[in-house]
Amino acid sequence: MSDETRGVPHDPPDNPSVVAPPPLIYAGTLAAGLLMNRLYPAAFLPRGLSLMLLGRRAMRRAGTNISLTKPATKIVTEGPYHFTRNPLYLSLTLVYGGITALRNALWAALLLPGVLYVMRRGVIEREEHYLERKFGDEYLRYKRQVRRWL
């Protein structure tokens, strides 16, 4: 009988074990907010996509995985990662906010703090813990030099 079948703890997976894919967290919550706004209209107010593309390009150039289900192979510090540790999540937040403003959707706007909470606790903090465990001082130095958002 192996250690795993006897209930003996095993090494954690070589990924951050996030609660859900970040685009799904944003898209699902945005869809719920837009649906709520359609059912109960509430006005809110009379370019983040390029940041996402630049972040993805920097990750590809560095040769690391973009998918959170695969191991990170490098700490990316070039491109938008020089200014923010999370350019992809920042761009999703900007797109969410932009769509919310364009649709004048109060409900979607009111749900954004919840999305940001889930992203911080369920994705970003888990990623940071994983990267600290995997890359140690290299990641800690980067973390001290570059802000989480902006």
Q: Where are the domains of the chain?
A: 22-65+73-145
pLDDT value, residue 43: 72
The reported pLDDT for the residue numbered 5 is 58
Q: Is 145 helix (H, G, I), strand (E, B) or coil?
A: helix
Q: Is the pLDDT of residue 101 over 60?
A: yes
pTM of the model: 0.78
Distance CA 58, CA 20 (A): 23
**Residue 146: Cβ within 10 Å count:** 15
C-alpha span between 100 and 32 (Å, rounded): 12
Given a cut of 60, is residue 112 above it in pLDDT? yes
